[in-house]
């Protein structure tokens, strides 16, 4: 198939960017979206032009590196799919395809389609851990974990930190990401001693990174490739309210 690609090109963080048009012919419907970009870059290199910079790693929908806004939708038109899992059979011959990076204050563009997502790492570093004694590995059955709690924790842990929720939100909010990282630990017995302090620290870091607030639009959950539920945002807000009553910044445990 033959496609017209409108790709965001930006040399670095400080330079102005713009959409640039490219025509790509001979695209197989069996190729993935990233393979299509590889074809474009091969043509650009042959023409002695600068190839398009874009992030990728596993190409299996696991790492979250490949995030792109495709025709205005984070990760493209297919639900529960990352960019690398999107195939060209979902496009038609002659289509015009718009390809942009994530758009958020917390995700500054580094080059072309690559953005700096270390802000998400800093949110996790603020409280995404538990304090335990080091030493030999504990017995796997030493702390009983109810199956509903384990299932909920695993649902939250499926978040791959791609940032699609931020890119899709009109407020550029990172609430779904932050609540998933909180829900992963706060659902388990091991996460209870620091539960409320963790909620305060991670949300404060999220705000410090410049992400917007949640207004319950739901775009975040609609584009999440792992279908993280909005229920985690509600749970995070409950923990924040309880943390306020218990006292911000104090190491307190759950007493419920």
102, 119 contact by CB (below 8 A) = no
Residue 7 pLDDT greater than 50, yes or no:
yes
pLDDT digits 0-9 by tens, 89-133: 999 999 999 999 999 999 999 999 999 999 999 999 999 988 877
SS3 content of the chain, % helix, strand, coil (to 5): 40, 10, 50
Percent of the chain with pLDDT over 70: 96
Q: How confident is the model at residue 143 (pLDDT cuts 50, 70, 90)?
A: confident
Architecture of domain 118-246: Orthogonal Bundle (1.10)
Each domain of the chain, given as residue ranges in start order, spans 3-111, 118-246
CATH class of the 3-111 domain in this structure: alpha beta
Nearest-angstrom CA–CA distance, 196 and 180: 15
Q: How confident is the model at residue 254 (pLDDT cuts 50, 70, 90)?
A: very low
Q: What pLDDT is stored for residue 253 in this prediction?
A: 41
Q: What DSSP line would sit under 75-93, residue for residue?
A: T-SSTT--GGG-BGGGS-T
Nearest-angstrom CA–CA distance, 219 and 158: 18
pLDDT digits 0-9 by tens, 157-206: 999 999 999 999 999 999 999 999 999 999 999 999 999 999 999 999 99
Give this prediction's pTM: 0.92
Q: What pLDDT is stored for residue 255 in this prediction?
A: 42
34, 66 contact by CB (below 8 A) = yes
Decide whether 3-111 matches 118-246 in CATH topology: no
Q: What pLDDT is stored for residue 73 in this prediction?
A: 97
Q: What pLDDT is stored for residue 227 in this prediction?
A: 97
Taking residues 37-57, report their average pLDDT.
Answer: 97
CA dihedral 131, 136, 137, 141 (to 10 degrees): -90
């Amino acid at each position: 198939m033959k496609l017209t690609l409108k790709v965001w090109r930006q040399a670095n963080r400080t330079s102005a960017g713009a959409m640039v048009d490219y025509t790509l012919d001979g695209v197989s419907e069996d190729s993935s979206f990233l393979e299509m970009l590889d074809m474009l870059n091969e043509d650009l290199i042959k023409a002695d032009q600068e190839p398009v910079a874009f992030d990728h790693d596993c190409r299996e929908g696991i790492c979250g590196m490949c995030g792109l806004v495709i025709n205005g939708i984070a990760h493209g038109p297919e639900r529960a799919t990352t960019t690398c899992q999107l195939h060209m059979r979902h496009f038609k011959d002659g289509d015009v395809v718009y390809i942009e990076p994530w758009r958020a204050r917390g995700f500054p563009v580094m080059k072309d389609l690559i953005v700096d997502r270390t802000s998400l790492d800093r949110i996790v570093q603020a409280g995404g851990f538990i304090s335990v004694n080091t030493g030999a590995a504990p017995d796997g059955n030493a702390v009983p974990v109810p199956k509903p709690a384990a299932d909920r924790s695993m649902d939250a842990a499926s978040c791959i930190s791609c940032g699609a929720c931020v890119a899709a939100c009109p407020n550029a909010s990172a609430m779904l990401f932050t609540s998933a990282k909180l829900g992963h630990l706060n659902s388990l017995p091991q996460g209870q001693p620091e539960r409320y302090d963790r909620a305060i620290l991670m949300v404060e870091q999220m705000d410090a990174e410049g992400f917007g607030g949640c207004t319950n639009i739901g775009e975040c959950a609609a584009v999440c490739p792992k279908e993280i539920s909005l229920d985690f945002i509600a749970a995070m807000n409950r923990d924040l309210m309880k943390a306020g009553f218990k006292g911000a910044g104090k190491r307190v445990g759950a007493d419920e």
